[in-house]
Amino acid sequence: MVRLFGVLLGVMLAAAAPSARAQPVLTLPEDHMVIIGFVSGLGGTSGIYSQDIYDGLRLGLRQLQDRLGGMDAELIAADDRSDPEVAAQAVRRLIERDAADIIVAGGDPATLPAILEVAAAYERFVLVANHVSEEVAGEGCNPFLFGMLGRIGAADEIMGRFLQGQGYRNVYLLAPDNVRGETHLAAFRRGYTGDLADTVVTRRGQMEFGQELRALRQANPEAVYTVHGGGQAVELVRQYYRAGLRDILPLFGTWTTFDRTTLPAMGDAALDIYDLGPWARNLEYPSNQKFITDFESQYSRLPSSMAAVGYDTAMLIETAVRSINGQMRNVEAFRTALRRADFASVRGNFRFDSNHQPVQDWYLRQVVRNEQGKIVNEMRSVVAAGWRDPQAERCALRWTLPPQPQTGSPARR
């Protein structure tokens, strides 16, 4: 079951005064319905990613026949407009009015502290189906927060290490002039410690890259790495191809540059480019193939990495709720069940580190045309198996799992 109240959120919240916090109830009634509150920015470019996460989450629930741990389940979505204050109000309303048992955050990492503050006050767990900041992955880790994707910049750091390991020297960096670009470049430099041909920051909204590409050709690097996204990424790749650079200077990026928001518009210009991502459609796990088949049937479009993360989130909730017989107000038992991550991830190996961020595989992917003629990313190799974020060492959380109760065969991927 799905409900949306994002469109009227502002009016509804203005009329609702926060109520006093109720005391937690350790035992829920047998007829309790599991309520998942989904909070994210549902408009603009970020709304595309939010929609993918939401659709992956919703697909997982549908496969489970709208039941979690043997109980009826409902998904309620709220538009936080990428505003921390609105996000905090949305979470409070989800908990107070709709009795949300768990919050899934899918939007701007800047809204996460506000979401977490409210949710933790009500002893509700937050599952983050998008990137988290370096602070949240490290010193700002929280026992009520679990990341399903990991830290922003992790892929850049791994790609930097990969390119250096492959012997590429004098890498040329291209990035937009914004905080996102700065974050990704800094992460890449943590992984790549070799010489740089140049680091070029393009203007905000820039769509013509002729001058930058001429300078790039003159610099004669061995590889080019870009962290552009959206329309800028589309125009950069098209112009890179038209300039005849693709076949002589290999271009690399991460999965946020080459995804469903950009690849259709890039067209053939993106073919054979390599990127790094946490998921690929040709991973041969049974859970992944079922996810892909059902997603395409349900939504008539190709799934994305963000949809895969949303789907994994539903499956994590299912196994956690089932293992504690639905007693989600038993905070310690619920936290332990989430920490076990005893579900068949579509991404392959997956577990939580001490900071509640994922230890997962990262894949080198190539842009190709599939059997239906659609442009997709396909996995070519595992670049970082069971990668652990170094930020975990800065997190004060320390825990070990108690022995797993013997309830049957382990989940199969």
| Tokens, residue 249 | 């200077």
pLDDT, residue 193, reads 95
- Model confidence at 29, pLDDT cuts 50, 70, 90, reads low
* Residue 169 neighbours by CB under 8 Å, 6+ apart: 194, 195, 222
Instruction: Report, as an integer, the average pLDDT of 139-152.
Output: 98
**Rounded to whole angstroms, how far apart are CA atoms 272 and 255?**
14
- Model confidence at 44, pLDDT cuts 50, 70, 90, reads confident
Q: If residue 4 lies in a helix (H) or strand (E), which one and from where to where?
A: strand 2-4
Q: Per residue in 167-202, pLDDT tens?
A: 999 999 999 999 999 999 999 999 999 999 999 999
pLDDT, residue 270, reads 98
pLDDT, residue 46, reads 78
- Model confidence at 346, pLDDT cuts 50, 70, 90, reads very high
Q: Is 190 left (phi over 0), alpha (psi -120 to 50) or beta?
A: alpha
> Over the chain, what is the mean pLDDT?
91
**Rounded to whole angstroms, how far apart are CA atoms 291 and 137?**
28
- Model confidence at 43, pLDDT cuts 50, 70, 90, reads confident
- Model confidence at 277, pLDDT cuts 50, 70, 90, reads very high
pLDDT, residue 2, reads 58
Instruction: Report, as an integer, the average pLDDT of 354-372.
Output: 97
Strand partners, 151: 132
In this structure, of 9-13, 66-70, 87-91, the range with the lowest mean pLDDT score is: 9-13
| Tokens, residue 100 | 């949300």
pLDDT, residue 404, reads 75
3-state secondary structure 6-25: CCCHHHHHHCCCCCCCCCCC
Look at residue 240 and tell me whether its pLDDT is greater than 70.
yes
Rg of the chain over CA atoms, in angstroms?
22
Q: Per residue in 375-391, pLDDT tens?
A: 999 999 999 999 999 99
**Rounded to whole angstroms, how far apart are CA atoms 54 and 49?**
9
Task: Report residue 30: phi and psi, to 5°.
Answer: -60, -30
Q: Other CB atoms closer than 10 Å to residue 63's CB: what's the count?
A: 16
**Rounded to whole angstroms, how far apart are CA atoms 14 and 35?**
23
Domain spanning 154-277: CATH 3.10.20.600: no
Burial class for 211, CB neighbours closer than 10 Å (0-12, 13-18, 19+)? exposed
Is residue 156 within 8 Å of 254, Cβ to Cβ? yes
pLDDT, residue 334, reads 98
Look at residue 336 and tell me whether its pLDDT is greater than 60.
yes
Q: Where are the beta strands (DSSP E) in 52-195?
A: 67-68, 71-79, 102-105, 125-128, 131-132, 145-147, 150-151, 171-176
**Rounded to whole angstroms, how far apart are CA atoms 353 and 350?**
10
Single-letter code of the amino acid located at 143:
P
3-state secondary structure 190-223: HHCCCCEEEEEEECCCCCCCHHHHHHHHHHCCCE
**Rounded to whole angstroms, how far apart are CA atoms 63 and 229?**
32
pLDDT, residue 8, reads 35
Look at residue 23 and tell me whether its pLDDT is greater than 90.
no
Instruction: Report, as an integer, the average pLDDT of 154-168.
Output: 97
CA dist 126 → 67, 145, 153, 311 (Å): 20, 5, 21, 16
Look at residue 10 and tell me whether its pLDDT is greater than 60.
no
pLDDT, residue 32, reads 82
HSE at residue 404, side-chain half, CA atoms within 13 A, is 14
CA dist 300 → 292, 303, 343 (Å): 11, 9, 26
Is residue 33 within 8 Å of 100, Cβ to Cβ? no
How does strand 171-176 pair with strand 145-147? Answer: unpaired
Going 288 to 132 to 76 to 320, the CA torsion angle's sign is positive
Going 368 to 374 to 375 to 381, the CA torsion angle's sign is negative
Look at residue 397 and tell me whether its pLDDT is greater than 60.
yes
- Measuring CA to CA, which residue among 246, 239, 197 is closest to residue 218? 197
Start and end residues for every CATH 3.40.50.2300 domain found in the chain: 2-149+283-356, 154-277
Fold for the domain defined by 2-149+283-356: Rossmann fold (3.40.50)
